[in-house]
Amino acid sequence: MKILLLSAYDTDSHRSWCQGLMAHLPNIQWHYLSLPGRFFSWRIRGNPLSWALGKDKQVLQQDFDLILATSMVDLATLRGLVPNLAQIPAMMYFHENQFAYPKSDQQHTSVEPQMVNLYSALSAQRVLFNSQYNRDSFLLGADKLLKRLPDEVPPGIIQSIEEKSRVLPVPIKAHVAASKVSSHHETLTVIWNHRWEYDKGPELLKAVVDLVESQSLDIEFIIAGLSFRNVPPALQQLQEKHPRCIAHIGTYAQKSEYQLALDNSQVVLSTAHHEFQGLAMLEAAARGCIPLAPDRLAYPEWVPKACLYKNGSMDKQAANIVAKLKHWQQHGLPTPVPVERYFWPSLIGQYLKEFNDLLD
């Protein structure tokens, strides 16, 4: 089998998924084309130009059995510019979708990214999503967009995408976690391990830290994750004030240091406004951390009810989070969450089946 693997916005998570597929399916002949994960507005519209008319244009003229494209690929335009690709079965894999992203002050309001997602899904013969939440929010968002359009919208568009869509999670590396025994009244270590961006809820994190500090609770925080040049104000304030309860704040220089921090933490916390699967949380859970996440987004698909906090205003959510942490610190942790079904060995067979089914 010969597969053209396309990653138009090759961030760490997309690249890791691509590399994982190639490593776990070595008998497939892979041709992997990627573009840097920067300049979002240009990349999501310009990737067909970069590939069809750029240095990789000869690669696209080869005979492939299957095209596998990530969610930022403008598949419809690429297949139009390279007629050879239009004859090859294509599969879209959505790590995320542009219909469910929360809007920031800096984000443009153009519907073009959503239309790229929509046209790509229509152009593909199979559409895969990493979670049920991702699939549902895509279909709902696309339906709302189509209802806003003034005229000449054909019927059955959403149904056609729904019928050829499946849910297949992004796998994570298998890990045998050491048992984490939490004695009553010991210091509880909580790690927050997300991108330092607005959609990961840094304001709620700060509210939680402030509440723990004001109550002098025996809880400490490790604030890790990938930081960028522009630091959200809430995280900047935590860096500057550095409350007593913060044991570490900043991106770890070495992956081994980050993994050690996970091993030394009892709880992994999410304050996200959006999450299509929750890889950072899953990876922490695989290393024995108890997840504490909002009762929304993709989290209810794998996080037990006892480890979800209620939605509401930021103050109410902060209070709910601190109440759970305080209870766990004083009375012991809940049972670890099994995530073996998300390991590469558990999922890779399903990927291969999807490839074979599409070619049959």
Q: pLDDT tens, 184-239?
A: 668 999 999 999 999 999 999 999 999 999 999 999 999 999 898 899 999 999 99
Rounded to two decimals, the pTM is 0.94
In this model, does residue 109 exceed pLDDT 70? no
Domain ranges in the chain? 2-171+344-359, 188-340
**Mean pLDDT along residues 308-335:** 96
To the nearest whole percent, how much of the chain has pLDDT over 90?
91
Topology agreement, domain 2-171+344-359 and domain 188-340: yes
Does the pLDDT value for residue 183 go beyond 70? no
Q: Can you say whether the dihedral through the CA atoms of 15, 17, 22, 28 is positive or negative?
A: negative
Mean pLDDT of 96-107: 73
- Which region among 184-193, 260-269, 305-314 has the lowest average model confidence (pLDDT)? 184-193
- DSSP per-residue letters across 121-156: HHH-SEEEESSHHHHHHHHHHHHHHHHHS-S---TT
Tokens read off for 32: 């992997």
Q: What is the pLDDT of residue 31?
A: 98
pLDDT bin (cut points 50, 70, 90) of residue 105 is very low
- CATH pick for 188-340 out of 3.40.50.1100, 3.30.1120.80, 3.30.450.70, 3.40.50.2000: 3.40.50.2000
Q: How far apart are CA 72 and CA 146, in angstroms?
A: 20
Identify the CATH number of the domain defined by range 2-171+344-359.
3.40.50.2000
